[in-house]
């Protein structure tokens, strides 16, 4: 049965005003999950109060066996394929009972089923955000209609089964057991969670005694599939969990409200993690096979603490509708980095945020699809696409600027009032501002208008005049921004710092830091006069959100001496400024490549190196004129070879340079001997040849045509695991001669979500150019048909042809633009993705032309 899965804000708003959910009881029969069965039995009892005579329940099922409303049967045609239409609702309390068969997923939505290739064991887990609980049971699928959920799950008796709340009873019948879990506090449907299977578990607990004498103890469990247990590092997981619970208990002033705290690492996950209260799910990539860098561990710390922050921002107080998605995601993003920095040993979190995470925001905020942090979300397809860099990292950066404006004490005092006033309910922007305003003299409504209801990044620049000896004679700071949607000029209040660095015998040395309050188009910095500064950096310490433009003298000094700048955060900011100049076509990509070649070998921080290395690969592969790429890759090859040889044994720098040898080797034969030697185990002292590194090398050697299926099979024989098998897919797809087969597997084979990601990664390495451009345009007509939105979007993005500034490239881009212009009736979400890819391509062409 064809069904429209979309839901609009207008209809959900009306339903939210009409209904109040009392409770759900969800009974799932999963006893056949390890068999060939494709569906499971779902029985739901929903109790709700209504002020009107009709409404609907959301459900996506293979088959609906029966529906009753207040004891009376409901006609079969009331089910549309996505909704159960209820026309005989009474004013007052109603009870609906729905019995259905729902499908197991292999694409990450609803109830996902995975069979481990190593031992044949079956694992289940749920993912419901934003609207996939309806793939598991009948519900009111919108965030403001919260209910108390009781789950009863029938599954093999020897499985581990977990849900949001602790188990309260278990009844065994032979080889199966029905486990019932305690009712949840009021919860949105997208936050329900269930895992079932032979998961490995490790237990601990967190406890606290507060200043007022109250105490609390929370049971902690870390879980993963059995073959990954040796990689789980549960001690570190619990260390982070305890640090976060202690921080939030103090700063949020609302005791952890969800009983237990389970952290489960699951395979084939579509996103990084999900904040299901009491049962937080994480992608398995956060279990490191082999040595992990500080950057990887910092990322894991941030994600653990991000999801934990949601248990207050999002779960305890939930946005009323997806317009206020930022009320949970922006806050959680900020907290993940802030708490990592302040409460754990991972003290490079702000560096990772400033140099890496914020670039996601700057990129998204310059696209034609940009939107305010508080966005108008008309329907669910739009909601799914706004889990983006603006909602997450721009929102987090703006909130960090708010802390700089009003102070962290006022910020957390307002948060405490917010939780106290809206616990277990839903809220809007006005509720949050109303909680924060009593704690500051600043007008937060005006602040919100400037920061949350406008688009596009501010561009921050400095006018610097220097005397002959390099001393500053005058310094002023400027901002400019044109809202991409309204076309109006935007002037925002910025609290920031400006730093000056001078060249000394050992390189760059900090000569001054001055706070700046910028409320208009410009501001003078009189205290900088008379100080020497060969390099002037705006937004030192990364307190505000804005693209920084370096003056020409500072650019030249950075290109020659950047690795000597002593402050990691400021050094990362200068690299970011150089990169934004390149992305925006304001300096030729060759200048960024030259800066990398000159400075990267001396870069002391592996996190900065890893981030900038990704940028230089984009600079060469997309922004440099095609005729100059081979020489650039050869230069990068020489840098990587020499830097790996000189890197300290066992260091993060050594590990990162080894990865870069593998990545650069995909593009040049210069590194083929080096990659072959590393893959054969001829590694420098201190370097671990991890499975991850070996697969990177394998993909590169396949791409260069020196390895084939036999070598891939040999590597797979040593790593015949889930990760090994998906890595083998990437390696095989990296071969240019495999492009036809890869296309067919992606389009006709309907791979799992994990396999799709792996094939697309190999496709990118294979460098298909324009060979499939015509088929790509044809694909746009059908890509949305029969595919879940997440996987369709990946195809539209991952298969977009790379265009160069030549006649063929421009012709391809014109054909894609013509499809966009000629298909205004195509799904809005699809059109948004295509428009974004067109904009990325146009940016690449402008950058290539800037180098001519």
Question: Do the Cβ atoms of 770 and 806 come closer than 8 Å?
Answer: no
Write out the two tokens for 351. Answer: 């560096």
Query: How many Cβ atoms sit within 10 Å of the Cβ of residue 539?
Result: 24
Is 307 in the active site? yes
Integer CA distances (angstroms), 241 to 196, 238, 292, 565, in order = 22, 5, 19, 35
- Helix/strand/coil for 118: coil
Write out the two tokens for 132. Answer: 């996939």
Rounded Cα gap, residues 434 and 436, in angstroms? 6
Question: Do the Cβ atoms of 535 and 565 come closer than 8 Å?
Answer: yes
Residues 95, 101, 103, 104: what is their CA dihedral angle, to the nearest 10 degrees? 90
Rounded Cα gap, residues 297 and 570, in angstroms? 22
3-state secondary structure 516-529: EEECCCEEECHHHC
Rounded Cα gap, residues 669 and 706, in angstroms? 10
Write out the two tokens for 555. Answer: 């650019």
Rounded Cα gap, residues 709 and 143, in angstroms? 49
In sequence order, what are the beta bridge partners of 124? 113, 196
The dihedral region occupied by 508, where left means phi > 0, alpha psi between -120 and 50, and beta the remainder, is beta
HSE-CB at 709 with a 13 A cutoff on CA atoms is 2
Integer CA distances (angstroms), 533 to 250, 465, 503, in order = 42, 10, 8
Is the Cα torsion angle 341, 347, 353, 357 positive or negative in sign? negative
Instruction: Write b or e for each residue in 375-408: b if 16 or more Cβ atoms lie within 10 A of its Cβ, otherwise e.
Output: bebebbbbbbbbebbbbbbbbbbbbbbbbbbbee
Cis amide bond preceding 130, omega within 30: yes
Rounded Cα gap, residues 355 and 577, in angstroms? 10
The one catalytic residue among 284, 307, 659, 670: 307
In sequence order, what are the beta bridge partners of 514? 498
Rounded Cα gap, residues 334 and 394, in angstroms? 10
Strand order in the sheet with 273-274: 200-209, 215-224, 261-266, 279-283, 273-274
Rounded Cα gap, residues 817 and 837, in angstroms? 10
C-alpha R_g of the chain: 27
Q: How far is CA 207 from the centre of its chain?
A: 31
Q: Which of 754, 832, 847, 835 is nearest to 271 (CA)?
A: 754
Q: How far is CA 796 from the centre of its chain?
A: 18
3-state secondary structure 158-194: CCEEEECCCEEEEEEECCEEEEEECCCCCECHHHCCE
Question: Do the Cβ atoms of 635 and 601 come closer than 8 Å?
Answer: no
Is the Cα torsion angle 631, 633, 635, 637 positive or negative in sign? negative
Rounded Cα gap, residues 786 and 782, in angstroms? 9
Rounded Cα gap, residues 731 and 712, in angstroms? 7
Question: Do the Cβ atoms of 164 and 190 come closer than 8 Å?
Answer: no
Instruction: Write b or e for each residue in 132-154: b if 16 or more Cβ atoms lie within 10 A of its Cβ, otherwise e.
Output: bbbbbbbbbbbbbbbbbbbbbbb
Question: Do the Cβ atoms of 378 and 322 come closer than 8 Å?
Answer: no
Q: Which residues are catalytic?
A: 307
């Amino acid at each position: 049965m064809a069904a429209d899965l979309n839901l609009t804000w207008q209809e959900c708003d009306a339903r939210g005003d009409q209904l109040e959910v009392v409770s759900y009881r969800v009974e799932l029969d999963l006893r056949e999950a390890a068999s060939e069965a494709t569906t499971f039995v779902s029985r739901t009892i929903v109790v709700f109060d209504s002020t009107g005579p009709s409404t609907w329940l959301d459900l996506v099922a293979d088959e609906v066996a029966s529906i009753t409303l207040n004891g009376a049967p409901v006609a079969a045609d009331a089910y549309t394929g996505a909704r159960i239409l209820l026309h005989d609702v009474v004013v007052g309390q109603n009870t609906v009972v729905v019995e259905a068969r729902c499908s197991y997923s292999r694409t990450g939505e609803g109830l996902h089923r995975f069979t481990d290739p190593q031992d044949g064991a079956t694992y289940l887990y749920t993912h419901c955000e934003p609207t996939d609980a309806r793939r598991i049971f009948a519900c009111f699928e919108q965030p403001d209609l919260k209910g108390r959920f009781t789950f009863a799950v029938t599954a093999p008796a020897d499985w581990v089964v977990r849900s949001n709340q602790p188990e309260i009873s278990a009844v065994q019948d032979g080889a199966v057991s029905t486990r019932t879990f305690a009712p949840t506090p009021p919860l949105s449907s997208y936050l329900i969670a269930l895992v079932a299977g032979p998961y490995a578990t490790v237990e601990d607990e967190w406890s606290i005694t507060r200043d007022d004498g109250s105490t609390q103890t929370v049971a902690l469990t870390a879980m993963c599939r059995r073959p990954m247990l040796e990689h789980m590092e549960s001690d570190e997981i619990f260390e982070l969990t305890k640090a976060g619970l202690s921080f939030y208990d103090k700063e949020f002033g609302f005791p952890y409200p969800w009983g237990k705290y389970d952290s489960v690492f699951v395979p084939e996950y579509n996103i990084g993690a999900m904040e299901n209260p009491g049962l937080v799910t994480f992608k398995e990539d956060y279990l490191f096979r082999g040595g992990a860098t500080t950057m990887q561990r910092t990322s894991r710390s941030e994600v653990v603490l991000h999801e934990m922050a949601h248990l207050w921002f999002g779960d305890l107080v939930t946005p009323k509708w997806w317009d206020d998605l930022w009320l949970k995601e922006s806050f959680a993003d900020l907290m993940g980095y802030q708490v990592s920095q302040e409460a754990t040993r991972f003290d490079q979190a702000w560096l990772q945020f400033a140099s890496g995470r914020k670039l996601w925001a700057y990129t998204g905020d310059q696209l034609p699809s940009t939107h305010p942090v508080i966005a108008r979300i008309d329907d669910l397809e739009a909601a799914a696409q706004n889990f983006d860099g603006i909602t997450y990292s721009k929102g987090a950066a703006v909130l960090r600027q708010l802390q700089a404006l009003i102070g962290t004490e006022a910020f957390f005092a307002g948060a405490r009032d917010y939780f106290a006033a809206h616990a277990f309910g839903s809220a809007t922007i006005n509720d949050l501002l109303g909680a924060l305003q009593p704690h500051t003299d600043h007008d937060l409504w005006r602040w919100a208008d400037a920061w949350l209801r406008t688009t596009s990044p501010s561009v921050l620049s400095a006018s610097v005049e220097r005397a002959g000896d390099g001393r500053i004679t005058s310094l002023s700071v400027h901002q400019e921004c044109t809202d991409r949607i309204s076309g109006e000029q935007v002037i925002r209040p910025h609290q920031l710092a400006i730093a000056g660095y001078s060249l000394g015998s050992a390189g760059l040395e900090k000569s001054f830091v001055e706070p700046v309050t910028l409320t208009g188009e410009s501001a003078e910095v009189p205290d900088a006069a008379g100080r020497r500064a060969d390099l002037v950096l705006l937004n030192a310490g990364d307190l505000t959100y804005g693209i920084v433009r370096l003056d020409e003298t500072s650019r030249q000094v950075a290109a020659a001496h950047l690795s000597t700048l002593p402050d990691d955060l400021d050094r990362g900011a200068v690299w970011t400024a150089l990169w934004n100049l390149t992305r925006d076509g304001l300096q030729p990509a060759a200048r960024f490549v030259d800066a990398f070649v000159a400075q990267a070998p001396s870069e002391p921080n592996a996190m900065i190196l890893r981030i900038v290395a990704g940028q230089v690969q984009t600079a060469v592969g997309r922004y440099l004129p095609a005729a100059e790429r081979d020489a650039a890759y050869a230069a990068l090859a020489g840098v990587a070879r020499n830097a790996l040889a000189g890197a300290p044994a066992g260091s993060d720098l050594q590990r990162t340079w080894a990865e870069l040898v593998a990545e650069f080797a995909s593009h040049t034969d210069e590194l083929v001997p080096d990659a072959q030697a590393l893959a054969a185990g001829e590694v420098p002292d201190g370097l671990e040849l991890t499975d991850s590194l070996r697969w990177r090398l394998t993909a590169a050697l396949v791409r260069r045509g020196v390895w084939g299926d036999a070598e891939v099979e040999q590597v797979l024989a040593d790593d015949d695991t889930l990760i090994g098998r998906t890595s083998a897919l990437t390696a095989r797809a990296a071969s240019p001669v495999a492009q036809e087969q890869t296309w067919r597997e992606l389009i006709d084979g309907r791979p799992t979500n994990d396999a799709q990601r792996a094939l697309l990664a190999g496709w990118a390495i294979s460098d298909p150019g324009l060979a499939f451009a015509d088929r790509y345009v044809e694909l746009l007509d059908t890509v949305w048909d029969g595919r879940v939105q997440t996987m369709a979007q990946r195809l539209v993005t991952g298969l977009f042809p790379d265009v160069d500034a030549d006649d063929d490239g421009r012709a391809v881009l014109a054909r894609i633009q013509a499809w966009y212009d000629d298909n205004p009736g195509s799904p809005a979400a699809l059109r948004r993705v295509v428009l974004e890819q067109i904009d990325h391509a146009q940016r690449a062409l402008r950058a290539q032309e800037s180098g001519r």
